[in-house]
Structure 1
Amino acid sequence: MTTGPGMRAAIYVRLSRDTDESTSPERQRAACEALCDARGWEVVAVEEDIDVSGFSRGLERPGLQRILARLADLDVVVFFKIDRLARSTVDFAEIMKIAETQSVALASAQEPLDLTSSMGRAMARVIAVFAELESDTIGSRVANAHEHLRREGRWTGGRVPYGYRAVPNPNGAGRVLEVNPDEEKVIHEIVDRVLAKESLMKIATDLTRAGVAAPGHHSRQPNGKRSDSERWYTTTLRSLLTNPQLLGYVIEDGKPILRTDGLPLVTRPPILDMRTWHALQDELSRRADRSERRRVGTSLLRGVLFCSVCGGRMYTYVAGGRTRYRCIGRLKQRQAGQAVGCYGPSVAGKALEEHVVSEFLRGNGHLPVVKIEMRAAEDFTPQIRQAEEALKDLEADRYERGLFKGEDGAQRYAAQYAKLEERLSSLKAMQSDAVPGGVEEIPTGKTYAELWEESDTAGKRDLLLNAGTFVEVAPAQRPGKKLDTSRVSVYFGVEGSIRRAEAEGKDPDSVITGADRADLS
């Protein structure tokens, strides 16, 4: 490789963020052009990678790839400094290797290196090592600074979490996050609708139509990054509702930062209380279950209606423009290679549903509806384990790693150890008095008839299931257009729940035990 006048040069410019005036793209390009003018090189190409990280992207940078793709037409690649070309020693060595195979020289505008000689290339590798070390050191300092700011309760920048807003720190420098009243109201409205069994799709559609600013809307992001998403989607809602930042937690890398006592670090007012949060997560988990998703939008009697011949569930199908229920036991038996013992009886859907609803409201319409909520058990075992591990780490810091030296160090060690021991003792006491999980009955103030009128198909089906409704259909004895109600058996309460458990292959004893407990209470 030679570096004489008349060589064809390509200038490469890279900047992670277009905010650093000292290494702006214009400054980099001007320095590279000055070097080319001084050497008598002809600039035939200029490629830039702006807002592109050389560390995380490696060689996968558009501008760099365009230069590497046309090395056969070049004699030299000019860059501002080595750290603009590559952020790691491995990447720099790879670029040098590729350039050498094409007899293309590399030239730095700011570093006096002759990369056409073995000694010059060796020195370049040494500089690249120190550039990589500097990059790692800067990253470590930034991470430590952010960690310190988070633990002080200050905002470190980036995207403002929905439900909060960045304001000047009233207790000192920097900015902090406080609850945004308007967005807090939106969150509570969303949570209430989710807990009321409304679909995420409908909630997202309503919010978009109402013009409520989405988390990525430009109107709510005066500071930090934004996604430019001005519409609400189900993914937007799920991401928002599963974010622990609603509890006031400080999040790093998608996980809450823990204090020395093992509990999450809370530096801002929570938007949701813990009980509402757990109820919300339980409801979202229920919806994530495939079996639960299949229930939405299906027929009224799905999971309620069974065949009296084979005991299997009956499903809907459309014949002649009308909906009917039928048993598919025959098909299942044939697919399983079993002897066919059920011919698959069917029944008119509308007439059957009207009959079952009439029976349900006649026997249950006047009864009050009680909402059953599972009360999560209190368990402090994870926090106890974290506190025990923190104690072990503290002991290792002093007796194995040699920290906490001197009289002041011993005092600091003793104070931290006493604090952790106190926390551990408190957690163990809380665990010994922990409230076990159970079922809580909450009156709704409405009757089954009132709630029935307000509910959609999925809600009405839930009412039937919660009331222990079990419907069994026998084969038709004679043809006819009207429903023969003598072939339909409808059961409610404990008897219906026991029959349904038996039909689904479950243990009916649990139903009986639950009924006994209800009678005792």
Structure 2
Amino acid sequence: MIAHPGFSFEPLTEHTFGRIDMRAALYIRVSTDEQAREGFSIDAQKRKLLAYAESQDWEVVSVLIDDGYSAKDLNRPAMQELLHKVRNKEIDVVVVFKLDRLTRSVRDLYTLLDEFSRHDVGFRSTQEQFDTTTTMGRAMLGILGIFAQWERETIAERVRIGMEQKVRQGKRHGGKYPYGYDRNGNLIQEEAEVIRRVRELYMKENLSFLKIAERLNQEGKFRRGYEWTRNTVALTLENPYYAGIIRFGSKMKNGKYPQRKRDLRVDVIDVPGDHEAIWTVEEYEEHLRLMRMRSEGNHSRKLDYLFSGLLRCGRCGSTMFGRLTTKRSLRNGEIVRNPYYMCSRRRDSKTCDMPMFRQKHVEHLIMKYIESIRLDRSKIELKQDQTELDRKIRRVNNDLNRIRERRKRWQYMFVNDLISEIELRRHLDEEKEQEEKLLRELQELENQKKEEFVYPAKLLEVIDVWDQIGNQEKRELLLTIFDEITLHTNETNIKGVKNRFFPAWVTVRYK
């Protein structure tokens, strides 16, 4: 038995390779750059695997094909279906043409072998002739897997060097062009205007990412048919490509590329591109500095006042505005100033005797109000019907399921020689393109669902997240839920007592 951290293999039961009526699943994989190579085509692998199964007197119950997928991980449609069949004991043996058709990752290899072993499923490779029923067979398989991973990492390193060289020459290193450009990299003026509008709302109107998304959606300026979200606004503002800069960055320790703040999280290369820019470099650096300042919470005093623009005096109906207390020093030497709110009529004409409220007091009153609703659910109009967003998500998931079923039918037709390999690849390419489009749509909808609040039903979540989010997120949350918060108290002359609040309550009006 070979040792490997986190994995163990139990011997397969005696019947696994001792039967002639074994149910075999043939797994075929072809990556994009291998499709034209002799011996690696789908048709070539299918012929050899069918012949091998016939020589063993095995019954072929399933032929699973991943066309155009890399072996770097297990996130492949046919691979996931194979694992489903293994776990449901629908097959007795998995057969591949070569080991690297299954995976090029040592960790994934051991994961798969462990999964096969736990469900009493054997594994055969027609080229390497390894048998997982013996210790030596598993040891040799592991050694070969190490070389397969080494080959993949070597290829990945060469690709990365090639991409880096392209970037240093001012060329894009691949992938789709961002919103604002067509597939040939030409600027789309209509979309460029929307991108300029994003920056205008952020810089001139001082709106948050969420508020910008809401404004653009209200104006009907959608993002190629999709609604804007907080994330897409932030990613747009952070994208250096719009400033004529091509950026290439390394991966994080988890093997993924960072979406936000890439230049702060990994090493990057920035070079001027030869494409038409939407912003100047100076404009990009200007709003990027502001984004960083805001994320650190020290860009202006406006964020100190969580309830600015929301509070009303319960006595005279006037607005209440925020102020900061005079500076005071803590024992550790830190200088602090605490926000409080004052009736504007009291300030301007002293015709209102409403006392001032510390911000901590207002927060306490809001939490107390929400907690009272939590204890009395009858105060909330709970929505039982599915929202339009839920219906869209359900529709996309149904469409994805239909694609998976169609993919199985195409593979079945190919295995039974009802269609050619060229026809199979054309159908699978079409399904893959549609699947990727639906997955992007699903991600957008799920992002919207995370950001979207159903009022007042979602009000109860405020208590749960309040202490876990920063001031900017708190203010965005309040502005999204409340249209107006009115403060009430019967007190007039208040003497401040440390860590104590005077009797008061709030009434609210929702958006």
* TM-score, with length taken from structure 2: 0.48
Which structure has the greater CA radius of gyration?
Answer: 1
* TM-score, with length taken from structure 1: 0.47
